[in-house]
Structure 1
């Protein structure tokens, strides 16, 4: 039986850490090994980790950021397959067995699965990520600059030999996080990606109010998109030096562009909204019209909704922004 390692990278998440570790230990796949890497936590995380004794492999390191933790994990994992579970997320009991079943069907570099969106208390919200499946030609699309639909870190299982072709990633002071970006898109340049169209875990979002507009778990909507741009450039450099693959200078991703769209028009006067749409919306509109992952119906619907942001009535415009940006606002609107 092939072994799989669940790696939990933790920093100051003592509130959620035990839930993540328990979910990893409760996998119904017998050959599952659990490693917890604590990245210099200053809360009570160490005591929680030590409480599991030899049921897990514990690694305590000085704080270096998520990229540093991933680099260390890829170096020490001795199994051929791994899931990187964020310490505030969880896996359902069959996650490891189901991804291993898929790995057995081909030479997959990555197997991804959906995650149910949870609130900070662990209650499911009815939403899940991602909302689109990864196509079989992820590699070709990435070479054209398109970031394919992928779940966050915890929804991905990797062939470790593929990760080793991408990692270690330079531990830049300017961006110590976003290690899952390099794993998700870097491995897709190494080999094919498989998609399991069901939820095998939970993704904790700490801002789950339908009135929020945010980029993933980022409090600052402008911060994460800028980090994405930096990460793409690092991925380009890595792909060129290690894989001899030339990626384009620009990338296309609707999640990235809708964050910029929201920052440009949310709570803005009507003149500002019109000015943004006339001058700054080219990339946003391109990720809708030319999106290779969307149906025509979804493209038309998103374009129509986006145009509603131009109406003079601000409450409608702001509602549309929340509806486009926040899946929870979308779901609750349907329920009402």
Structure 2
């Protein structure tokens, strides 16, 4: 039986860490190991880690950021396969079993699966991510600059040998975070990606509600565009120097463009909304019209909704932005 390591990278998540570790230990796949890398936590995380004794393997390191934690985890892992579980997320007991079944039927570098979105207190929201599976040609599309649909970090299982063609990622003061970006997208440059349509875990969203415009834990809409651009630049560097692959200078991704759209439109006066659509919306509209992962109905519907932001009624514009940006807002609307 092939071995799998669930690697949990933690920083100051003592509130959730035990649940993440327990979910990893509860896997029904016998050859599952659990590794916890603590990235210099200053809360009670290390006491929680020590309480598990020999049931887990632990690395307690100085704080270096997520990139440093991922690099360290991959140095420590000695199994053929790995799931990089965020310390505030959960895996369902059959996650590793289902992932290994998929690996067994294809030559995959990564198998991804959907995650149920849970609130900060662990309640189910009724939303799952991502909304669609990865396409068969996601690697070729990535070479053209298109970021393919993928779950957050915890919804991905990798061949370690494939990940090690991308990692270690250079550790810089500007690039401490976003290690999951390099794993999720870089892996498509070295092998095929398989998808499981079922939810095999839970993704915890902090401080997000249907009335919020943001739906993310790491960067808010105002910060995400700059961070994604920097990570794409770093991925281009890795692809060029390690894989001899030249990625385009810019990338295309609706989530990225959506963050820009929200930061420019939400709460803006009518004249500013019109000005943005007239002069600055080209990349946003291109990420919809040329999107290789969407069908015509979704494209037309998203453009139609976006245009409602030009109506001279601010509450409607703000509602539309929330509806486009935050899946919880869409779920709330459906419930009513």
Cα distance in 2 between the residues matched to 1:226 and 1:211: 24
Cα distance in 1 between the residues matched to 2:216 and 2:225: 10
Counterpart in the other structure of 1:319:
319
Counterpart in the other structure of 2:50:
50
| 1:9-55 Cα deviation digits (max 9, x unpaired) | 00000000000000000000000000000000000000000000000
Q: Is the 8 Å Cα contact of residues 215 and 224 (structure 1) preserved in structure 2? A: no
| 1:37-79 Cα deviation digits (max 9, x unpaired) | 0000000000000000000001000000000010011112111
| 1:158-191 Cα deviation digits (max 9, x unpaired) | 0000000000001120121110000011111000
Task: Describe how 1:1-336 pairs up with structure 2 within 5 A.
Answer: 1-218=1-218, 220-336=220-336
- List structure 1 runs of 4+ shifted beyond 6 angstroms: none
Cα distance in 2 between the residues matched to 1:5 and 1:50: 19
Q: Is the 8 Å Cα contact of residues 215 and 327 (structure 2) preserved in structure 1? A: no
Cα distance in 2 between the residues matched to 1:105 and 1:76: 27
* Partner SS for 1:158: strand
Count of residues in correspondence between the two structures: 336
**Shift of residue 334 of structure 1?**
1.3
Q: Is the 8 Å Cα contact of residues 83 and 158 (structure 1) preserved in structure 2? A: yes
**Shift of residue 219 of structure 1?**
5.7
> What RMSD in Å do the two structures reach over aligned CA positions?
0.8
* Partner SS for 1:285: helix
| 1:195-236 Cα deviation digits (max 9, x unpaired) | 000100000000221111115114632112210000000000
**Uncovered stretches (5+) of structure 2, i.e. residues with no partner:** none
Deviates more, 1:216-225 or 1:148-157: 216-225
Q: Is the 8 Å Cα contact of residues 67 and 178 (structure 1) preserved in structure 2? A: yes
Cα distance in 1 between the residues matched to 2:224 and 2:312: 29
TM-score (norm 2): 0.99
**Shift of residue 84 of structure 1?**
0.3
Cα distance in 2 between the residues matched to 1:214 and 1:334: 19
Cα distance in 1 between the residues matched to 2:17 and 2:215: 23
* Partner SS for 2:108: coil
Q: Is the 8 Å Cα contact of residues 215 and 259 (structure 1) preserved in structure 2? A: no
* Partner SS for 2:15: helix
**Shift of residue 95 of structure 1?**
0.2
| 1:84-133 Cα deviation digits (max 9, x unpaired) | 00000000000000001111112100000000000000111000110111
* Partner SS for 2:116: strand
Q: Is the 8 Å Cα contact of residues 6 and 32 (structure 1) preserved in structure 2? A: yes
* Partner SS for 1:216: coil
Deviates more, 1:209-218 or 1:197-206: 209-218
Q: Is the 8 Å Cα contact of residues 208 and 215 (structure 2) preserved in structure 1? A: no
| 1:266-295 Cα deviation digits (max 9, x unpaired) | 001100000011111000000000000001
